[in-house]
Structure 1
Amino acid sequence: MKLLRYGAKGSEKPGLLDADGNVRDLSGIVADISGDALTPEGLAKLQAIDPASLPLVEGKPQGGLRVGPCVGQVGKFICIGLNYADHAEESGLPVPPEPVVFNKWTSAIVGPDDDVEIPRGSKKTDWEVELGVVIGKPGRYIAEKDALSHVAGYCVVNDVSEREFQIERSGTWDKGKGCDTFGPIGPWLVTADEVTDPQNLKLWLEVDGKRYQDGTTATMVFTVEKIVSYLSQFMSLQPGDIISTGTPPGVGMGQKPEPIYLKPGQVMTLGIEGLGAQRQKVVAAQ
């Protein structure tokens, strides 16, 4: 099942993508793609519905019909750094012995095709295609063997990053990771039953048609199971929480002989096998 949120910014409605690629309106069934709707019980209720019985929404998603962030009312947006050994190498950093954890503020969340803003004063805004994990079943102190049962589904995340803010300005990474528009998610939340193996998905990202990232989740240092279990030792995980699991090599900071960073007017396109694609125009923050 592919769940989504469609419509104008700030007033998105819940929807379902049917087998023909059309959007079906779920607003008569659930208030949003969030919270209780993402629990095992909530998803089972949605699974039982015949999509043809739902109102058809006019327009093609990502083709005239705006698609918003695929999860609403996100409580936590947790990220894992340096989770691909080859990305750690290009960053000049050792592979961490435990997951590196940081946050993106929920105000960074935008739709998959919304503009990405280069913050005022930024010189080093960068891209990162990542597998997003959306929590469904709440829990804490989750055993690794049980971790995937807590996952509602998966989505594409662009972990946009300002490297000077992140690395050179002292303190935590968070201030270079959570700027407004730095968290495009979607287009769909693909439920876990449709993802046979989250450790065998191809990821890619292009800027102005040039491919920079071309990787696979098979090279993650810490698996989805490990990450969910690990995070649950330090915090409770709740329905709608998003975990962004790290990026493969090919980010702008790692380009040779010189790093390459985003400029206004450029276009990022990115996607993950089976989870859809995103397209963002880069603009200067006003």
Structure 2
Amino acid sequence: MTIIGIGKNYVNTPEEMPSPKWAPIIFTKPETTLLTNNAPFEIPAVSNELAYEVELAFKISKAGKNISEADALNHVDAVAVCIDFTAKDVLAKSRENKGPWALAKGFDGATPISDFVSLDQFKGDINFALDLNGERVQTGNSSLMVYTLPQIIAHISQFMTLNPGDIILSGTPAHGVGLVKAGDKLLATLEGENKLEFEVK
């Protein structure tokens, strides 16, 4: 399984949509980042500055290479809500030497994720949100993605074959990212329905 993340893929309003669009920022995360079944998230010893980013996660259902935008949605069948945790202090050190995002995004448990839901349940753009200790901190709608899901799938598949079970993290809303600490409780929703709920330890 490959987990593929898209960086800086949201705007706050349609009026902020860039033209022309910049090239998408792509990074990968190991399977060991996945944290399922609402298991608690343990702050890793390598970081003292953990930031949450709520995201939509899309599951690839059919293998493909050089997939066209027109055919892209035939290669994905389900969506989940997840948190893409970033070790901000680790990332800052890496950036000092123009290094990659890999360790800051790829530590064990860095991707708490809900169960997947069939895309057939959604007839249009998808609303999602994150609450931290009962307070709404992030709200998103897939209409505010700079690159749409078909564009993302078409772009990635020019470089690598997408296989069933691969997951695409489509980016976090352009506002509301913050830090977590031990004892915090996070709740993520899809279309107002609670899907992911866990505690930080």
TM exceeding 0.5: yes
Unaligned runs of 5+ in 2: 14-19
Q: Percent identity?
A: 35
Matches within 5 A, 1:120-159: 120-159=45-84
The higher radius of gyration belongs to 1
The reply to whether residue 183 of structure 1 matches residue 183 of structure 2 is: no
TM-score of the pair, normalised by structure 2: 0.89
Q: Give the letter for the 1:192 counterpart.
A: L
CA–CA distance in 1 between the matches of 2:193 and 2:10?
A: 20
Matches within 5 A, 1:243-258: 243-248=168-173, 249-252=175-178
Matches within 5 A, 1:41-52: none
Relative to structure 1, the CA distance from residue 268 to residue 214 in structure 2 (aligned partners, 3 Å threshold; closer, same or farther) is same
Matches within 5 A, 1:4-19: none
Match of 1:193 among 114, 120, 124: 120
1:282 — aligned with what?
200
Q: Give the letter for the 1:185 counterpart.
A: I
CA RMSD of aligned residues (A): 1.8
1:232 — aligned with what?
157
CA–CA distance in 1 between the matches of 2:12 and 2:88?
A: 18
1:173 — aligned with what?
101
**Cα shift readout 1:159-195 (whole Å, capped 9, x = no counterpart):** 11111112333311111111111111222x2122222
Structure 1 counterpart SS, 2:114: coil
CA–CA distance in 2 between the matches of 1:274 and 1:138?
A: 31
CA–CA distance in 1 between the matches of 2:193 and 2:2?
A: 21
Matches within 5 A, 1:14-29: none
Q: Which runs of 4+ in 1 moved over 4 A?
A: none
Count the aligned residue pairs. 191
Q: Give the letter for the 1:162 counterpart.
A: A
1:206 deviates by: 1.3
CA contact (8 A) 2:187 2:194 kept: no
The reply to whether residue 242 of structure 1 matches residue 167 of structure 2 is: yes
1:96 deviates by: 6.4
Matches within 5 A, 1:264-275: 264-273=182-191
Match of 1:113 among 17, 22, 38: 38
Unaligned runs of 5+ in 1: 1-74, 88-94, 253-260
Relative to structure 1, the CA distance from residue 235 to residue 83 in structure 2 (aligned partners, 3 Å threshold; closer, same or farther) is same
CA–CA distance in 2 between the matches of 1:96 and 1:118?
A: 35
TM-score of the pair, normalised by structure 1: 0.63
Q: Give the letter for the 2:119 counterpart.
A: A
The reply to whether residue 76 of structure 1 matches residue 7 of structure 2 is: no
**Cα shift readout 1:21-51 (whole Å, capped 9, x = no counterpart):** xxxxxxxxxxxxxxxxxxxxxxxxxxxxxxx
Q: Which has the higher contact order (CA 8 A, sep 6+)?
A: 2
1:103 deviates by: 1.3
CA–CA distance in 2 between the matches of 1:103 and 1:274?
A: 29
